Amino acid sequence: MQTLTPGSILGHAVRRREDARMVTGRGNYVDDRPPAGTLHAAFVRSALAHAEIRGLDVSAAAAAPGVVAVFTAADLALPARVGFEMVPAPMARPRLAEGRVRFVGEPLAVVIAESREAAVDALQLVAPELEPLEVLVDAEAARHGSAVHLFPQHASNVAGHFASGTDADPLEGAEVTIRARFVNQRLAPVPMEPEAVRAEPEGGRLTVWATNQTPFGLRDEIAASLGLDGSEVRVVVPDMGGGFGAKAGARPEVVVIAAAAQKLGRPVQWVETRTENLMTMTQGRGQVQDLELGATRDGRLVGLRLHVLADIGSYPGIALILPFLTGQMSSGVYDIPRIHYEAHVVVTNTTPLGAYRGAGRPEAAAMIERAMDMLAVELGMDPAELRRLNLIPPDRFPHTTAGGATYDSGEYAKALDALLELADYKGLRAEQARRREAGDRVQMGIGLSVYVEVTAAGIGPEWGAVTIREDGSVLVRCGTTSFGQGHETTLAQIAAEQLGVPLEQIQVLHSDTDAVERGHGTVGSRSMQHGGSAVHEAAIGVRDKARELAAHLLEASPQDIVFRSGTVGVAGVPGRALDWAALAAAAADPARLPAGMDPGLAVDVDFNGEGSYPFGAHCAVAEVDPETGEARLLKFFAIDDCGRIINPLLAEGQVHGGIGQGIGQALYEEVLFDAQGNPLTASLLDYSIPSIGEIPEVETGTTVTPSPHNPLGAKGVGESGTIGSTPAVQNAVVDALSPLGVRHIDMPLSPERVWKAIAEARA
């Protein structure tokens, strides 16, 4: 669907413009078109989780057929990557291991060869001399003074500590308190396209083709690491097969490839294998949460005490601060008068953690939503009623929680009510009661969650530009990056909304640091709020200028100028109109401009706005077979509120994808290591992500509570589905088993775990 008049295309379910090329195999990914003469890289990786590097003889590999070079840390002499301001300096990660290795898969050297096969074959000729050190994989031991130190120059394995909230007893006055330990297990992001990069030196510059969410950040990091000026590096992100947070920033291997290409003066490409991806791409979640939630006997929340132990793997990066977000969001949608929060963030000899869809917020939602269900059981209340009783009411916004977050706007009861109606909650409970009474062997469970999360907070401004080209077409440029979200469609809609031009006339360009001025990229579901608002304001700028110019050229008053059918003309006089090409020509000619007007029809804007707090309510319906422990979802319902919706089709798609991942965490996924730090889930046979067969029918709905923090009124939706769905599914499975006396099961709710929990409850 599309429209030619301004003010009527935003909020329409326009189909994704990018799909045709993607579903017909015409997408363009990093690995698709390496130029002739491209060299291929493979990494020598550590087979031990913790060891001193005694020797690294690469001479045999360097002499192998087809091999052009082998580089170690000493050869490239790249500065260590701190990765994040707060990271203690001794914990900085080198791009290639130096002195020690700290996780299985850590890169030690890179082999560059004429073909990928030659590079991979030569890996076997490198036998690093590694002196094993005692391995630390236990986060509790890491916190409580293990004798093993990952970074001897740093006194402990604790990389960070957060404490906030009340000093007084948060549970004072509680008549009922639930105490629990929840494990929010470690997950792998598993983007469909693994890491891929090709660096091409040419004419004194380096062009880096990358699959990356933050091309400007990557450009700056490569430039700084290689001693180049930012202008000497160009990063281009072509089509991209997902990222889920893990492709933000610069992976050490990517900087190594850029350095190798610079050294050799030839294009160098690296595409990781799935096993490399599962072993070495940053992972997510990984918290142990100890909590006490207190309430009065009639169900009013009194206070929360929460301690988080976060295992962020061997090298701290952005994962260091994610537990801070967990603390901030620990109040959820509830009015909790007092919260005491503390987190210890530790390093272990495991794969480093980073951002993964939700990054710090799903952990909070999972904690409070599971705890609310436990409390409801304890109080003998319906979980929907207990939630409703404690929701922050709409007249309290902006609202600062005891967790320290200031929520912009929210109508939580509205979302919960819409969900209960959508799901026919009463009907579901009646069906459950009927089945229980009839003595059904297979147990039915209903799980709720009401979530709030934070998007676009603390990241900085975003750049957007709108230009009318000579032929009258519109060029929209933005500093965000699209890797599945559909920005080519939504940013075009935002510009069309103001200019009244058909979408075919609008080209969207992003993710090329030569074509776009600047950008912070796509993280924290910020693109519509920040990038979209920048494009929105730039389009308004162009529109205002076009109105004034047209009024001058058509000898009319600016108030009488209307935008229709891709033209700018005088209201009520269909013949007196200019098309955009004519306007662009006039705008380029100083002689035809009104006094004081600069030439050109181009406006760019840096938009900055505070973050927003999307929310929603989810309901999962599950069946659990107590004989086998198998849990299966029958139906899923979701109400999500992302403020003003730019494109309901795409927003719903984001929710669907997120729910798939949320179900994955609740039922199937878990990254595991053995006691020696060997990854046990390094293939997709061992790390189980759900297929479409495990995703039930999903019914969605929306409520619309605009954010006051940007002119579109938009909040983010890219992570909402993941955040809301996990606790709903976990709660549904536990609810199914409540007649058997089961009170809690940690995720993933695998048949084995469920079966054991039932056996324990029966015992």
Minimum gap (Å) between residue 642 Cβ and ligand MCN: 4
Q: Which is nearer to ligand MCN, 119 or 714 (CB)?
A: 714
List phi, psi (to 5°) of 366. Answer: -60, -40
Supply the minimum distance, in Å, between the C-beta of residue 542 and ligand MCN. Answer: 21
- Rounded least distance, CB 478 to ligand MCN, Å: 10
- C-beta nearest to ligand MCN: residue: 484
Nearer to ligand MCN, 611 or 657 (CB): 657
Q: Between 383-390 and 412-423, two packed helices, what is the crossing angle to 10 degrees?
A: 160
Q: In what order do the strands lie in the sheet with 129-132?
A: 100-101, 51-55, 129-132
CB of 155 to ligand MCN, least distance (A): 34
| Angle made by CA atoms 485, 523, 89, in degrees to the nearest 5 | 155
CB of 41 to ligand MCN, least distance (A): 24
- With 0-12 CB in 10 A as exposed, 13-18 as middle and 19+ as buried, what is 682? buried
Q: End-to-end CA distance of the chain, in Å?
A: 60
Measured at the CA of 606, the angle between CA 605 and CA 608, to 5 degrees, comes to: 130
How many C-beta neighbours within 10 Å does residue 557 have? 10
Nearest CB to ligand MCN, comparing residues 710 and 750? 710
Question: What count of residues does the chain have?
Answer: 763
Which of 388, 415, 604, 426 lies closest to 515 in space, CA to CA?
Answer: 604
- Output 212 or 731, the one with its CB closest to ligand MCN: 212
Cβ atoms 101, 643 nearer than 8 A: no
* Minimum gap (Å) between residue 75 Cβ and ligand MCN: 34
Name the nearest CA neighbour of 205 among 185, 225, 187, 228.
Answer: 228
CA dihedral angle for residue 142, residue 146, residue 148, residue 149, rounded to 10 degrees: 60
Whole-number Cα distances in Å, 473 to 19, 106, 140, 539, 717 = 21, 49, 60, 13, 30
Q: How far apart are CA 663 and CA 730, in angstroms?
A: 9
**DSSP class of 298:** T
Q: What are the two backbone dihedrals, phi and then psi, of residue 631, each rounded to the nearest 5 degrees?
A: -105, 140
CB nearer to ligand MCN: pick between 276 and 640: 640
- Output the six-digit token pair for 718: 């890219």
6 vs 716, beta carbon nearer ligand MCN: 716
Site for ligand MCN, rule CB under 6 A: 191, 242-245, 357, 483-487, 490, 522-528, 642-647, 650-651, 654, 657, 714-719
CB of 411 to ligand MCN, least distance (A): 15
Q: Which of 643, 662 has the CB closer to ligand MCN?
A: 643
CA-to-CA distance for 8 and 2, rounded, in angstroms?
9
Query: Nearer to ligand MCN by C-beta: 350 or 525?
Result: 525
User: Residues 6 or more apart from 203 whose CB is under 8 A from it?
Assistant: none
**Whose Cβ is closer to ligand MCN: residue 56's or residue 246's?**
246
For residue 508, the minimal CB distance to ligand MCN (Å) is: 11
Least CB distance to ligand MCN at residue 130 (A): 35
Contact (CB, 8 A) for 448 and 420: no
Cβ atoms of 479 and 532 closer than 8 Å: no
Q: Name which of 46 and 654 has its Cβ closer to ligand MCN.
A: 654
Contact 73, 98 (CB under 8 A): yes
What is 37-52 written as a DSSP string?
T-EEEEEEE-SSSSEE
Q: Between 314 and 490, whose beta carbon lies closer to ligand MCN?
A: 490
Considering the complex, state which of residue 348 and residue 702 has its C-beta at the smaller distance from ligand MCN: 702
Q: How far is the CB of 159 from ligand MCN (least distance, A)?
A: 23
Contact 32, 239 (CB under 8 A): no
Residue 479 C-beta: closest distance to ligand MCN, Å: 11
The 8-class DSSP code of residue 270 comes to E
Closest approach of Cβ 730 to ligand MCN, in Å? 21
| Shortest CB 609 distance to ligand MCN, Å | 12
**Residue 467 or residue 525: which is nearer to ligand MCN going by CB?**
525
Q: Reduced to 3 states, what is the DSSP secondary structure of residue 710? A: coil
Cα–Cα distance, 671 to 531 (Å, whole number): 34
